[in-house]
Structure formats: structure tokens, C-alpha cells
Amino acid sequence: MQPHTNKRDKPWLMRTYSGHTSAKASNALYRSNLTKGQTGLSVAFDLPTQTGYDSDHILARGEVGKVGVPICHIGDMETLFDQIPLGKMNTSMTINATAAWLLALYVAVAERQGVAHSQLQGTTQNDILKEYLSRGTYIFPPEPSVRLITDVISYTVQQIPKWNPTNICSYHLQEAGATPMQELAYALSTAITILDAVRDSGQISADAFADVVGRISFFVNAGIRFIEECCKMRAFVQLWDKIAQERYGVDDPKMRRFRYGIQVNSLGLTESQPENNVQRIILEMLAVTLSKDARARAIQLPAWNEALGLPRPWDQQWALRMQQVLAFETDLLEYDDIFGGSPVIAAKVQELVEGAEEELERVRENGGMIQAIENGYVKRQLVTSHTQRMRAIERGELKIVGLNCFRETEPSPLVGEGEGSIMKVDPRAEREQIESLKAFREQRNAAEVEAALAHLAEVAKSGENIMPASIRCAHAGVTTGEWSQVLREVFGEYRPPTGIDITSHDATPSATVQEIRDRVHRTGEELGRPLRILVGKPGLDGHSNGAEQIAVKARDVGFEIVYEGIRLTPRQIAKGALEEGVHLIGLSVLSGSHMELVEDIFKELAEVGLADIPVIVGGIIPVEDARTLRNQGVAAVYTPKDSDMNTIMADIVDIIRQSNGLKPFEQKAA
Amino acid sequence: MTVRGTLPDPEALAAAVAARDRAALARSLNLLDDRRPQARRCAAHFLATLPSEKLDVEGHLIGITGPPGAGKSSLTSALIGVWQQRGLSVGILAVDPSSPLSGGALLGDRLRMLAHDHGSNGSVFIRSLACRGEFGGLSAEVWPMSLAMLAAFDIVLIETVGVGQKEIDISKMSDTTCFVAQPASGDSIQFLKAGIMEVPHILVVNKEDMGAAARKTLTELRFTLKKQMDPAGWQVPALAVSAVKGTGIEKLADTLDGHRQWLVEHDLLDTRRKQFQAEWIVKRLREEFGRFGIEKLGGEQHLFQVLTQRSGSPFDEYDALRDGFLTHWQES
């Protein structure tokens, strides 16, 4: 038996990913979380902030304060950290395309609080490459995006040495369907791309480069197959050590450590029997804590009811308490690595390392991560894995308790009728935020703003580090939208690759799939032309995996799918539906802005004479909202509990039939 | 509610399309897609009512083709920008591959073509189409749809993937065919040399920002082209552009327009357009009755001769020939 050490290991940083409504409301939440024993902050920004729009931009409608806090300027940032001493805080910010800007605001607030740069501790996510693959909050094309990441790294390594300038994410890759091997390979390929760019930018001298490698951290996902996930973490440790040593010549083993934070898998949480998510979250947490050699540095856990809507403070407290029980009540932290010497674990780790190295090689053959993203290689691999996973769930080969097996349940006392079990963002919040933004713009010094923006544009063009100019903008009162607009003009905006041109098909379609294909075909014959559907995501939410899966599935059962992608205005959707002559519109909204967006889309559809076209909506939509949407004329609402895609496809055929005066099919296809 | 079977008044529809009513155009494209017999009759009437001068000599039908990954959609997007600046209205038919197994298709090109359009500037009209495998090459609806668009817009662009059958198809329904090659891919040159690929009117090497590779491909293409000539005497230009950086796009737009001018000057535009209709009809007949059927109808040459002299609606002409064949077959 392994002797246990005398000294308990230090616990990891405990955070809760949070922020909503306004800077003021989020500040109150943060302060209350800190009194409960949380040891760091994890700031969730709303989608307009993440995609570089002010709260009053047309694309921001319905999105302000929904998935995070709106930060338009230094005033908002000061309110957010009111009475929170930044010199003592460890703050993680989930921010990517506008990371340099939000960091600039943070630094400016610290300066106003009188805190030295060297005292600041925290993390900016700042991994834009994964935004192109999943999550979708990119703004600029890869080249300038990598330059922004490089600038933040170079600046912080020299000015804010305790800052983690980039958190390379495999988290969202798993959400997009990545297998553990793919997660390893693509996250490490991204890290290599970023480090190469920093090296090639010449901003850091060769002898200081080990500091850069040492500051790279990762943000990882842990799924329910927790033994394999634990091995994945060990594989990460091995591979990173090797890359740091062989590729970047880092001699100091401390600088080669794989440092990572974790959020366990939110997308795998179920809406049906949501209390089961508690077990899932805990098991997933074990994956990243059991092995001391590969233990997470920071953990944030989702709340048990995330698949239902926004969690309340109590739900988040429960998640925090899970961490505290594991860290403080159990004996976990008393032991050295408990897997050392296990041949079973070693073999699994080896398998993952080898698989990941092969895939790393394939990325290299594609010309590196940027090329492999731009030519669609990585996206195809992810969508293929994701599709396989969805099919396995559909066929019951992959079991999810309460979803595709053991579905019988007592009514849950935790999920009451009405609005009790989730939090709602006050609909007045958006208006108030816009009013305060307008007031802020009025009182600032316009000449200073203009000069700071002009300077920013110069720096963006010249290639000089973007951070000092951004900090100047922050002090001058520049807004998030203005900062981003200047860079949009200099850098241009990213065009996504067509993306889901995957060729994988259900080679042996089940009888159900055959039946649905037949119905799609027959209905097309009856209506005179093939059935066409428009699938798209209105608003700023970039989580496109769900929409892509629906699109691929619908293609496989014989629909012609016009896939419109993300960040669509209601007008674009109506225009697309008209021009493409579709029979039905499928919308996906995960950001909670479904009510406003659907209302606007109905208005726009009526304007182009398509008031009668059936619309279906999928997303994280609370029960009462779903009811309201149906009353407003939405033909069907699908939430995470509707996991059987065949049923959805059969529904779609019937909805189209009914809206065209045909009788629906009598028997269930699925 | 769109009650099943309700068809639009073809004459009113044609008038509205000619007046650039977008909803009417959308309806007319749905109608041209509709294979039910009563819809076909309505569509025939609609096409026959469209203003013939627009279809015969006005506007510009452009076909853009090339291998996957060459950046055709981005190039189209960049061209749209230039045309909009010049005050030209644009309609796009974007053709994507269908799934051979399910008949379904994922049409994602809109996404790329409108990446910068946040709904404020709604002047471009895009209809995406699946190949609908059954015919190989471009599906039967593409050409009639391009006519409806031609009645409404200054420029109609058909975009499709491929070298081979589809590329030949597109050259038989566009005034100007433009082939987009990608640097460092020898394929297009090999195809050109081997004569597998029909010589397009304009060759474009995209991604010139890639530098040496792009220049090399351009040089090779120019060398190959010296030995080839468009049968009508047009000297095929090869251009380097970058859709992403926006370089060479103005020049490409000029070159496209230059070819149209050349066709007009040589009195070839309306001849070409008449030829498209004949091609379309003969292709449909060949698909339905095979080489045997074409022989029975007097042979390809005879059919082209007859068809290019007549000017009935394509659906009517097709139906007449088809009925003729069936009667003949039943009698013999």
C-alpha cells in the first residue's frame, strides 16, 4: 500500500462560472460566492461582449445579460469588481475574440484601484482557434486572431507575470464531438500554433521563451467515462512535457508542467430526471482530481439544472459544495498519485498518447492547425465523431440513464411547475443597460476617445503590441463595440468554411430511417418538389453543434437542408426562407434569447409574406417559455430531453404536411 | 396557407418577376421546381410570358465552376461586392452535391456568400440547389430557373463544384464560363491538356496571396492555354485573384463583362442563348429515351437545327418532341 504523505496537498482553485443581467447584479453574486468559500472568480460575459458589440447593437437584441454579464466600458468593469480587491483575487475570464480588450479593462480597473500589474492573477481564455470549430464567438480571421493572442501573451509575460494569457481549450472540442484522442491532438496542435506564432513574432527573446511555455495553460472537459478521462489527463501531461522539451527546448521540468483548469461536461447533462446530473458532475470531477500527477489547478462545476435554464445562486452553491466536500472532507489530498504503477492505466494512457500523436501528425500534414481548420479537416472529423455518438445514443448502444433507458420516474420535487426551478433574467435589464451605456457615452471626453481609437487603429496596422493602446482606450472610455469596430475595419471579419460538408452516412439505415426517407420522398412527390428546410441560429450564440446535427440528420433522411449557420438577424432568416423556397424553418437558440428572437422572426416573416411557414425551435428552453412559444405559433419546441432525432424528423414531415393541407402520417415512424 | 395544388397566375407572376418582385421570383423558382403535370403547364406558360428581349439579349449569365476548396463561394462573395458597387443587381444559383443515398442535401454556400451581409443590404438573391443525382451533372431545374432570374436581375451567376460532367453542363447554360483553379493543384491543367475539361472562357487562379505556388499555376495555365483556343475565336485569359484579400476582383469583373461585350460584338449572345434551350431539351430527351430515342427523332444535329430556329417555350418544345416520339414508337 502506498504510504500517505503527512502533509495534505493544497486544494485546487474553486470557482463558479457566473455572471448575468448587469455588472451590478453580477458583482453582488460574486461577493456572495466568495463568502461561501469560493477561492477564485470565473466571469461569464454575455454574447454581445464576447463578439464585440455594444448592448445597443441590432445583433445584441435579446442577448444582453443573458449568458453572462454585459461589459461595455470601464464603468461596467469597475462596477463588476466593486469592493473586490483585484490584487488578491484570481480571476478567470471566458473571453476570446475580445480578450485583449477585456484584459485591458481589467488592467485599467486595477490601475484605478492602485494595484500593481505584477500582483494581478488570473486567466483570459483567449483561444480563438477553437471558436472556429465550436462555440462560435470569433470575430476576425485566423491570422489577426493569432496576432491578438500573441500580443496578449507577450504583454502579460513581461508585465503581468502571474497571468495565464491563454487557456487552450479542449473543452469545446469535446462538446463538438471530439473523442479523447481528438481532444488531445487538436488542443496540443492549437498550443503549438500559438507558441510558434509567439516565437516568430520576435516579441520575446529566445532565453525568455521558457517563461512563455510555462504560462500556457489549458481548459479541459471531463466527460462521464471517468477512467478514460483520467487517462486522458495523464496523456496530456506526458505529451505536453515532450512537446515543451523537444519542440521548444524547455529544460526546467516545472516550466513543462501541464497546467489546466476544468469545467465538467455541461452538454452531457440531461433535462430529464435532472437530479441525476449531480452524480454525473461528481464522477466527472473525480476524473480530474483522483490522479495527483494530472490534477486540475482550478475547477468549476456546472449546476445540476443547467439543461433547464439559468441556474439560481442556490444551484451554484450546491456545485461549489461538491468541490468542498471532496477537497476538505475526503482523504483525497493526503495521497501521492494513486495510479502510479497501475499497468491498466499505463496501457490506456499509452493508447491515447499514440492515437493523439497520429492525429497530431495528420494536422501537420494538413499544414498545421490553422490550415486544418480553414480547409474544414478538423470540423469534418468532429462532426463525424459527433454524428456517430448521436447515432449510438439513438440506437441505445450508448446509455444515458433517464434519457434512453430507465425513463420511468417519480415526479421530481426539485423541478416544480412554474418558474421556481431556474433563474430568469429580468427583461428590464437590457433596457437599463442600454440607458446606462448611452449616459456613459454622453459624459466622456469625445476628443480623448477619438484620439485613443485613432491610435488603436495605427497600432493594429503597424503590428505593434495591441495591449498598451487598448489600455489607453479603456481609460478614455472607449466602448467594447468601438474597440471591436476599429479592429474589424483593419483586420476584416472571419468567413466560416461551409463546414459541415461531411460525407459520413448511415451506411445501414434502420427500418425507421428507411420509413422516414420514404415519407420525406412521398411528401415531396405530393407537394411537387423535394422537401426543403432552412436551419439557422439567430442571435449571437455560436454553439452550432445542435443545429449541425439536425442538419446532418435531416440530410440523411432525404431533406434538402439550407444551412445558414450562426449570428443571423431575424431579417436574414426571413430573407433566406423566402429566397430558398423552404417548407419549414428550424431555429436553434441556446442563449436564452428565444422569446425576443422568435417574436422578431415572426414579424419579419409576415413582412415578406411568409406568415404561414411553419417554424420549429430547439434549444435550452424552459417549459413555460415553450408553452408560450407554441401559443405564439411555433409549430414545435425541442429541448435536450428530445434526444431521439428520428422522432423529430418524423414530426417535421407531419408539420410540413399539415401546413400544406395534407393529412399527417397515421402511424409513428420512430 | 399554401393550399396544395394552388398554382399562381403565370402571367401575373411573369410580370411581377420582370418588375423584380423578390417574393414573386421566389414563387416562380418554386414553380419551376414543381414536377406535377399541372405545375409544369403553368411553368411553361410562365416562361413563355417572360419578356423575351430580357432572355435573348439582356443581362449576363455567368457560370463559375472548379474543384472543391478552390474558394468559389468566397470569390462569388467578393464579386457580389464589386457588382453592388457598380449598381448591378445580382441573382445566384448555388448548386451543391446531393447525397446519393438519401436524396437529401446540405446546402451551405449561402453562409459563405453572405458572410458580411447583416440583412441591411438585401439586394442579392440566392437560391441553393441540390444536384439531385438522378441526372448526373446539373439538375433539370437549373436552366429554367436561371431564365426567371435573368428576367429580374442584371447578373445571374450559377456556381457549382466540379470538373467533368457538371462543368460541361454549366458551359451549356452560361454566356460566360469561369473556371476557378487552386494554386499547386495540377489537376485543372492536366484536365485541360487531356481535353477532358471543356475550355472555359476565363480561367482564374484564386488565393494569389499564397505567392509562388499561385504564380506557378498561373504560368502553367497560360502556357497550356496558348495551344488552345475557344472554337469561336475568343482568346481565353488567365487571371490571378485573392477572394480573401480582395485583390484582382475588379479586374475579374471587368474581364467577365469583357467576354459578354465580345459575344455581343460578334453577334453570338442570342445565338448562344438559343443554343442553351436546344441543349436543355436534347439533354432531357436523351435522359428519357437514350441515344436510340435521339436517333428516332432524327439525330442530334437535326434536333439542334430545328430547335435553334424555333422559339417556343422550352417545356412546350420538349413536350411536343416527347409526344412525337411516344406516338411514333407506339405506331411502329
Residues B156 and B229 in one domain: yes
Residue A541 falls in the annotated catalytic set: yes
Residues of chain B positioned with their CB less than 8 A from the CB of A608? 22-23
Residues B140 and B42 in one domain: no
Per residue in A4-30, pLDDT tens? 556 889 999 999 999 999 999 999 999
Per residue in A95-105, pLDDT tens? 999 999 999 99
Lowest mean pLDDT across A78-87, A317-326, A511-520, B290-299: B290-299
Check: CB of residue A634 under 8 Å from CB of residue A606.
Answer: no
Terminal C-alpha separation, chain B = 48
Q: Name the residue of chain A whose CA is nearest to B131's CA.
A: A560
The reply to whether A384 touches chain B by the CB within 8 Å rule is no
CB atoms within 10 A of CB A117: 16
Taking the CA of residue A209 as centre, how many other CA atoms within 13 Å lie in the half-sphere pointing to its CB? 20
C-alpha cell at A482: 468601438
- The C-alpha of A495 sits at a distance from chain B's nearest C-alpha, in angstroms, of 6
Q: Considering chain A, what percentage of its residues have pLDDT values greater than 70?
A: 96
Q: Average model confidence (pLDDT) for chain A? A: 92
Alpha helix (H) residue ranges in A74-141: 74-80, 99-113, 129-133
Beta carbon pairs, A and B, within 8 Å: 141
Check: CB of residue A419 under 8 Å from CB of residue A622.
Answer: yes
The pLDDT of residue B135 is: 46
- Range A310-318 average pLDDT: 92
Over its C-alpha atoms, chain A yields an Rg (Å, rounded) of 25
- The C-alpha of B110 sits at a distance from chain A's nearest C-alpha, in angstroms, of 6
Amino acid identity of residue A244, one-letter, is A
Amino acid identity of residue A417, one-letter, is E
The pLDDT of residue A213 is: 97
Query: Among residues 543-602 of chain A, which lie with CB inside 8 Å of chain B?
Result: 551-552, 554-565, 568-569, 571-572, 575-576, 578-581
- Range A342-351 average pLDDT: 97
Residues B84 and B26 in one domain: no
Residue A543 falls in the annotated catalytic set: yes
Per residue in B228-268, pLDDT tens? 667 778 888 989 999 878 899 999 999 999 999 999 999 99
Q: Average model confidence (pLDDT) for chain B? A: 83
Lowest mean pLDDT across A37-46, A302-311, A442-451: A302-311
DSSP, residue by residue, B134-173: GGSSS-TTHHHHHHHHHHH-SEEEEEEE-SSHHHHHHHTS
Above 70 in pLDDT, residue A36?
yes
Residue A584: strand pairing partners? A533
CB-closest option in B101, B111, B127 to A496: B111
Residues B89 and B131 in one domain: yes
Q: Check if CATH label 3.40.50.1110 holds for domain A13-330+338-394.
A: no
The pLDDT of residue B74 is: 85
Give the model's confidence band at A670: pLDDT under 50 very low, under 70 low, under 90 confident, else very high.
low
Options A30, A53, A106, A171, the catalytic residue: A171
The pLDDT of residue A552 is: 87
Residue A117 falls in the annotated catalytic set: no
Q: Which segments of chain A belong to CATH 3.20.20.240?
A: 13-330+338-394
Rounded Cα gap, residues A597 and A594, in angstroms: 5
Rounded Cα gap, residues B103 and A529, in angstroms: 12
CB-closest option in B22, B26, B110 to A562: B110
Higher pLDDT, residue B6 or A48: A48
Amino acid identity of residue A658, one-letter, is Q
Residues B261 and B277 in one domain: no
Per residue in A178-216, pLDDT tens? 999 999 999 999 999 999 999 999 999 999 999 999 999
The pLDDT of residue B2 is: 45
Above 80 in pLDDT, residue B199?
no
Cβ of A375 and B125 within 8 Å? no
Rounded Cα gap, residues B202 and B186, in angstroms: 17
Check: CB of residue B64 under 8 Å from CB of residue B158.
Answer: yes
Residues B96 and B217 in one domain: yes
The pLDDT of residue B188 is: 64
Residues B94 and B214 in one domain: yes
C-alpha separations of A391 from A394, A404, A499, B154 in Å:
5, 12, 20, 46
Amino acid identity of residue A119, one-letter, is Q
> Last residue of some domain: B239, B265, B291?
B265
Give the model's confidence band at B279: pLDDT under 50 very low, under 70 low, under 90 confident, else very high.
confident
Above 60 in pLDDT, residue A503?
no
The pLDDT of residue A564 is: 84
> Last residue of some domain: B265, B294, B323?
B265
Q: Which segments of chain A belong to CATH 3.40.50.280?
A: 511-659
Options A543, A553, A575, A583, the catalytic residue: A543
CB-closest option in B26, B107, B118 to A562: B107
Above 60 in pLDDT, residue A571?
yes
Give the model's confidence band at B1: pLDDT under 50 very low, under 70 low, under 90 confident, else very high.
very low
Q: Superfamily assignment of A511-659 in CATH?
A: Cobalamin-binding domain (3.40.50.280)
Query: Which DSSP helix (H) or strand (E) runs through A533?
Result: strand A532-538
Q: Which of A126, A117, A66 is nearest to A92 (CA)?
A: A126
Per residue in A591-645, pLDDT tens? 888 999 999 999 999 999 999 999 999 998 988 899 999 999 999 999 988 888 9
Single pTM value for the model: 0.85
Per residue in B82-102, pLDDT tens? 998 899 999 999 988 766 667
Query: Which DSSP helix (H) or strand (E) runs through A124?
Result: strand A121-124
Check: CB of residue B152 under 8 Å from CB of residue B20.
Answer: yes
Options A537, A553, A575, A583, the catalytic residue: A537
Q: Considering chain B, what percentage of its residues have pLDDT values greater than 90?
A: 34
Query: Which DSSP helix (H) or strand (E) runs through B80?
Result: helix B72-85
Above 90 in pLDDT, residue A574?
yes
The pLDDT of residue B316 is: 82
Residues of chain A positioned with their CB less than 8 A from the CB of B108? 498-501, 563, 565
> Last residue of some domain: B265, B283, B298?
B265
Residue A638 falls in the annotated catalytic set: no
CB atoms within 10 A of CB A495: 20
Above 60 in pLDDT, residue A577?
yes
Higher pLDDT, residue B131 or A276: A276
Helix axes A545-556, A377-394, angle to 10 degrees: 70
Q: Note every long-range contact of A604-608, with CB atoms under 8 Å and residues 24 or more positions apart, other chains counting.
A: A604/A570, A604/A571, A604/A573, A604/A574, A605/A574, A605/A577, A607/A574, A608/A574, A608/A575, A608/A577, A608/A578, A608/B22, A608/B23
Residue A537 falls in the annotated catalytic set: yes
Cβ of B132 and A530 within 8 Å? yes
Q: Which domain holds residue B214?
A: 54-265
CB-closest option in B27, B112, B132 to A498: B112
Per residue in A225-234, pLDDT tens? 999 999 999 9
Residues B173 and B72 in one domain: yes
Per residue in A155-179, pLDDT tens? 999 999 999 999 999 999 998 889 9
C-alpha cell at B65: 465552376
Above 60 in pLDDT, residue B119?
no
Residues B251 and B278 in one domain: no
- The C-alpha of A582 sits at a distance from chain B's nearest C-alpha, in angstroms, of 9
Q: What CATH number does the domain containing B231 carry? A: 3.40.50.300
Give the model's confidence band at B3: pLDDT under 50 very low, under 70 low, under 90 confident, else very high.
very low
Residues B81 and B211 in one domain: yes
Above 80 in pLDDT, residue A35?
yes
Residues B69 and B156 in one domain: yes
Above 60 in pLDDT, residue B132?
yes
User: For chain B, how many residues are written?
Assistant: 332
Above 50 in pLDDT, residue A293?
yes
Instruction: Give the count of domains, chain B.
Output: 3
Give the model's confidence band at B183: pLDDT under 50 very low, under 70 low, under 90 confident, else very high.
confident
Residues B312 and B274 in one domain: yes
Check: CB of residue A422 under 8 Å from CB of residue A311.
Answer: yes
Higher pLDDT, residue B185 or A262: A262
Per residue in A423-478, pLDDT tens? 888 889 999 999 999 999 999 999 999 999 999 999 999 999 999 999 999 999 99
